[in-house]
Amino acid sequence: MPNELILPKINNFVYVDYENTKGQTMKPKIAVITISGRAYYLLVNELKRKKASFLSLTPNDNIPIDVKVVITTEKERSRITHENVLTYEEDKNPAEVVDEAIRVVRGKRIYDRLVVGVDPGQNLGVAVLGDGEVLQTKSCSNLRETLDAIKEVLSRTPANCAIVRIGSGVPSFVEELSNRLNEVLPENVTIESVREEGTSQSFGQTSHRRGKRDVNSAIKIGQRQGKALPRRRIDKRDPSG
């Protein structure tokens, strides 16, 4: 991959925008400012995955007044003048800085309530909701991938209250996932079992549509209050000591 990237320009900047849920085009409020090809590639892929509108600029460009937050690299930080600048370290997960940029745009440095909904099945849907708004979704192929996804989002997303809600359709899965989560999550994270009636939708049998069905069900599970499961305290002391 090249070390530097020459960005195409439209009126001194390029941008990608997406439509909001009401079909209205949103003005980009996040700017990616870098000439690092690797950083640009990773950040833009993550922004597109999260369907976040953004501008692509170089350090020599003027920053439009509508931009609320800038993402740049450590090396280029000194060249950026803006009230909200986030730096990306190229050996880190780009999701961390992208998630923070999205929170800044939404005025949410920290969420009051962060909920992770999980739809069990052959493919597992995972949906993350911050104060009732869907932040991201993912389709997982196994329990390990699901567990890692939950741990990652809870570790990098600040919230006053965190809840994991698991659809109750497969009792053995609820038990196994809750037991695994109980071992790795902080004691202040609530784990709930949620009734799944009315959460499933039929999208046909193709792999893509099954994935869409799973994440949509996970969103509904995350929106529905469930029954809290007991958190057992794990004693990690060495019994021989």
Query: Looking at the structure, do residues 115 and 224 belong to the same domain, yes or no?
Result: yes
Q: In angstroms, rounded to a whole number, what is the distance separating the alpha carbons of residues 226 and 163?
A: 10
pLDDT of 26 = 53
Q: Structural domain of residue 91, as residue ranges?
A: 14-105
Same structural domain, 94 and 170: no
Q: What is the pLDDT of residue 214?
A: 82
The 10s digit of each residue's pLDDT in 200-218 is 654 444 444 555 788 999 9
Asked whether residue 118 falls in the same domain as residue 30, the answer is no
223 and 122 co-located in one domain: yes
- Could you tell me the CA-to-CA distances from 183 to 47, 124, 131, 180, 229 in Å, in that order? 32, 20, 26, 5, 13
SS3 63: coil
Give 136's contacts (C-beta < 8 A, 6+ positions apart): 50, 127, 128, 153
- Write out residues in the chain with pLDDT < 70, as ranges: 1-27, 198-211, 233-241
- Asked if residues 66 and 28 have their Cβ atoms less than 8 Å apart, the reply is yes
Q: How many domains does the chain have?
A: 2
217: amino acid identity, one letter:
S
Point out the domain boundary residue: 105, 125, 151.
105
CA gap 165, 125 in Å, rounded: 12
At 21 the pLDDT is 41
Q: Are residues 122 and 211 in the same domain?
A: yes
By DSSP bridging, strand 133-140 and strand 159-167 are unpaired
Q: Among 54, 75, 105, identify where a domain stops.
A: 105
**Is position 75 within any domain?**
yes
Number of H helices, E strands in the chain: 5, 11
- Read off the pTM: 0.69
pLDDT of residue 171: 87
Q: What is the pLDDT of residues 65-114, one digit of tens each?
A: 999 999 999 999 999 999 999 999 988 889 889 999 998 998 888 899 99
Q: Given this model, what pLDDT does residue 121 score?
A: 81
Same-domain check for residues 28 and 96: yes
5 within some domain: no
